Structures are given as C-alpha cells and as structure tokens.
Amino acid sequence: MSEVQIGKNVNLEKIQARIESHIDTLSTYTATPGRGTTRLTYSQEDLLARQYIKEKMKEAGLTVREDGLGNIFGRLEGSEKDAASVLIGSHFDSVPNGGSYDGPAGVVAGLEVAALFTENGLTPKYPLEVIALIEEEGSRFSGGLMGSRGLVGLLAEEDFKSLKDKDGITTVEAMEKIGLDSSLPKPRNPKTLKAYLELHIEQGPILEEKNIPIGVVEAIVGLTQLEVTVKGKAGHAGTTPMDRRADALVTAAKMIAQFPELAAAEGEGTVVTTGQLQVYPNGANVIPDQTVFSVDIRSGKEEHVQSVIQKVKELADSYHDIGMEITVEQLLYIQPKEMNKEIVSLLREKSNKLGFPSCSINSGAGHDAMVFADYTNTGMLFIPSKNGLSHSPEEWSDSRHIAEAVHILFEAAIELTEAE
Ligand code: GLV
Ligand code: MN
Ligand code: MN
C-alpha cells in the first residue's frame, strides 16, 4: 500500500477503485454500445448519467440542484454566509463515438474531492461545489462550451432558445423531454465564484512520452468554429453535362482540401479541421445543391486564428464568379487563455508536496476552464492519455493518475475553501 498522507485521511487505492466504478458505470450510458461513448446533451443517456451523478453527489453529502441549462451542482455549504464558491468539475457530454474519460474524469474527480471533504469531516469556510456541465463538445447544438458560457452569462436567453439540433429539436424541447426545467435561472453572478478547478485527460501524447503523471496547465489554445454553407444548383446526375453544373459538394471538397496547406502555411502549430459535412438533398443520382460543413481552427496565438478565418472567407469569395453562393458563419470564438498564476503555483506546490511528478503543459483542446478564466481564478490539471488518443473509443487513462490528481485537488481545495 503506497498511501500518501499530509494530515488527512486519503487512501489512494480506495479512491482509485471508486473512480473506476464511476467511469465504468458512466460509460454504459451511451447510445452506441460497443462503439464508444455517444452521450448527447439532453438525450436519454444524458438523463441516466445525470441521475447517477446526482445520486453520487448526495452520497458525498452534497446538496444538489440543476440550473436552467441542465448543469448540475452539488454543494457543500460554507461556514461563512454568502461566501463565493470553489467549483471543481468538468463536462459529462461526449462527442459521437468518443471515449469514457473526456469530461467524466473531471466530474468524477470533483465527486471524489467532495467525498474526501465529507470523510475527513472538513467544513469549508467558502462553499465547495462539484459541477457537471452540459454540451461542452457542441455535438448536439453546435458551438460548444454551452454549459459554461450559459453559466457565466455569455449565452443570451434568446440565443439559447433558438438553438436546434440536426432534427430541428430546440434546446427547450429537448430539456423538457428529459424532465429538465429551462425556466430555472441560467447565468450566475460571477461574485458567487471564488475559483474553478478542472481535471481533464491530456488528449495528447506529451505526458505519456515524458512518463509524468501530472500536467499543470499554463494556457489553453484560442479557437473558433465556423459553419460554411455552399449553395449551388440541383440537377440530374445523368443528364447534366459536367461543364453546366454548380455542384455544392465539389466546391466544398475543393475548399476543404486546401485547409491542410493553409494551416501549414500559417505555422506555429496552427490546426484546421473539418469534421462535419452535410450534403443536400443527399441522393446518389442528384447533383448536390447545398453543403454545410464545419471548420475548427486553433492556435496558441490569436493572430493565427484570425488570419485563417480571413483566408477561409477569401477562399469562399473566390467561388462566387462560378455561380456558387457561399456564406461563412462564426459559431464560436474564444481567445487563447492563460490559467491563473496563483492557482498554477498552488497546484504545482501541492503536487510537489505529495510527491507526484508534474510538469507545465499547454492545452490544444478547448475546455470549460477557458470560459471560467475570464470570471474567476481558474486552473487545470492534466493526466496522461494512452497513446495520446481522445475523441475515440480507444481513449484510456489510468485511474491511478486520476486518484493522484484528486489528492492534489483535494489539498488545493482545502486551501482555497479555507476548510478545517
Ligand atoms: C473539446 O474537446 C474540444 O477541444 O473541442
Ligand atoms: Mn472533447
Ligand atoms: Mn473535454
């Protein structure tokens, strides 16, 4: 038994076993059993995961509530009246056919930190809140980071209500279907937030290659998501000569094929991805009259994100004179974000004290932490991802590393909540 203690009762083996049980259970709430986790926001799988998380929050002695977005909060009350809260958590939605750890690892870490508070009989001065956020991935309603953006007031009520999934179902209708109340309050006064801590899997190869269990995140890349709509003209696949076509799919394909070069020319690790493409009317013998595709652009430097947006727009304009109508809509834009320096030092200090090797790391993935960073003192921990894989059924992380991160977060949370 390698039990590490600094005054508090922390049994890493026990925590590790509970983490595995949480992750295994949550991974069964998938619409694609055997083909990874597919848990779209406000789906039946969301409902099952939500019920499990709420039950575990209650078992950890927390008072549970949901907001008008369906974010879940489990609160351990503070001894000081109306004090701001220390939030720990992540998201519990997934990409289509994703893994079991992207998001849930951080929610589960929050649950275990709260359980340690209760087991050690600690009373925080500032409330501790475990938080499970919706729609970070944007897999159902596009854009992403919806739970955190809504929580800090960056998503207007009207905009939230107007969002629809690919079947035309609105956010409000989807919430009602699983018994959620969209009329509950959404934005929260930033004064009620003292800090936000998030554990996440790295989703890349660095920690595994270095054989270091803990990454203390310094900064998160800037990113944007564009939706490009190409309009051409439908026609018969057999009778329309090749030189009389305005084929929306061929034009989209030509554009998309240029993105790798565009990203390489921009340099400094700039990445551009098209992961969604819809073709209309989607008939094998019909020339497509419309295509809609996503463009995800990321870089540690905002100027590169801006420059690629401009180039995508110029590329779109260049097809106008051959009869194509192309519009570019920006669904999400978020600048690169630095984590709070004091939280970074605190997390580093706790890792050192507990004897867990750590290093500084930057995040190429987007996270709810980048939204919270403008509103409260925010920090993140990463743990290694096997073979650097994520957004894949093969995504895997070691529950021992999650347990170690829980221990660090527990010690950090004691300090931030001034618990005794
Ligand atoms: C979330 O996984 C993102 O980086 O888009
Ligand atoms: Mn993700
Ligand atoms: Mn994630």
Domain boundaries, the chain: 3-220+337-417, 222-334
Q: Residue 351 is encoded by which pair of tokens? A: 């890792």
Q: Which atom of ligand 1 is nearest to the CA of 203?
A: 2
- The three-class DSSP label of residue 311 is helix
DSSP 89: E
What per-residue confidence (pLDDT) applies to 7? 63
91 marked among binding-site residues? yes
- The three-class DSSP label of residue 420 is coil
Radius of gyration of the chain (CA): 23
198-237 pLDDT tens trace: 999 999 999 999 999 999 999 999 999 999 999 999 999 9
Counted residue by residue, the chain has a size of 420
What per-residue confidence (pLDDT) applies to 262? 97
102 marked among binding-site residues? yes
Q: How far apart are CA 230 and CA 247, in angstroms?
A: 9
Nearest 5°: the CA angle 414, 419, 420 is 120
| Domain 3-220+337-417 bears CATH identifier 3.40.630.10 | yes
Residue with CA at minimum distance from ligand 1 atom 5: 366
* Prediction pTM value: 0.91
Ligand 1 pocket test target in 37, 93, 101, 136 with most atoms within 8 Å of CB = 136
350-392 pLDDT tens trace: 999 999 999 999 999 999 999 999 999 999 999 999 999 999 9
Q: Which atom of ligand 1 is nearest to the CA of 391?
A: 2
- Smallest-distance ligand from the CA of 95: 2
Residue 99 C-alpha to ligand 2 middle, in angstroms? Answer: 9
- Smallest-distance ligand from the CA of 99: 2
Provide CB contacts within 8 A for 357, sequence distance 6+. 212, 213, 214, 351
Q: Residue 185 is encoded by which pair of tokens? A: 């309050």
Q: How far apart are CA 265 and CA 399, in angstroms?
A: 40
Between strands 85-91 and 72-76, the pairing is unpaired
391 marked among binding-site residues? yes
Q: Is the CB of 297 under 6 A from ligand 1?
A: no
Q: Which atom of ligand 1 is nearest to the CA of 102?
A: 2
- 121: Cα separation from own chain's centroid: 32
401 marked among binding-site residues? no
Residue 284 C-alpha to ligand 3 middle, in angstroms? Answer: 36
Q: How many CA atoms lie within 13 A of 84 on its CB side?
A: 14
Q: What is the architecture, at CATH level 2, of domain 222-334?
A: 2-Layer Sandwich (3.30)
- Smallest-distance ligand from the CA of 392: 2
- Residues with CB under 5 Å of ion ligand 3 are 102-103
What per-residue confidence (pLDDT) applies to 4? 47
CB atoms near residue 408 (< 10 Å)? 27
Q: Residue 14 is encoded by which pair of tokens? A: 């026990």
- Residues with CB under 5 Å of ion ligand 2 are 102
Q: Residue 366 is encoded by which pair of tokens? A: 């987007």
407 marked among binding-site residues? no
Query: Would you say 12 and 400 are in contact if contact means Cβ atoms under 8 Å apart?
Result: yes
Q: Is the CB of 366 under 6 A from ligand 1?
A: yes
Residue 407 C-alpha to ligand 2 middle, in angstroms? Answer: 24
189-203 pLDDT tens trace: 999 999 999 999 999
Provide CB contacts within 8 A for 189, sequence distance 6+. none
Q: Which atom of ligand 1 is nearest to the CA of 95?
A: 2
What per-residue confidence (pLDDT) applies to 39? 98
Q: How many CA atoms lie within 13 A of 311 on its CB side?
A: 20
Query: Would you say 199 and 405 are in contact if contact means Cβ atoms under 8 Å apart?
Result: yes
Q: Which atom of ligand 1 is nearest to the CA of 296?
A: 5
- Given a cut of 70, the residues of the chain with pLDDT beneath it are 1-7
Q: Which residue has the tokens 């083996």?
A: 13
Q: Is the CB of 137 under 6 A from ligand 1?
A: yes
Residue 266 C-alpha to ligand 2 middle, in angstroms? Answer: 24
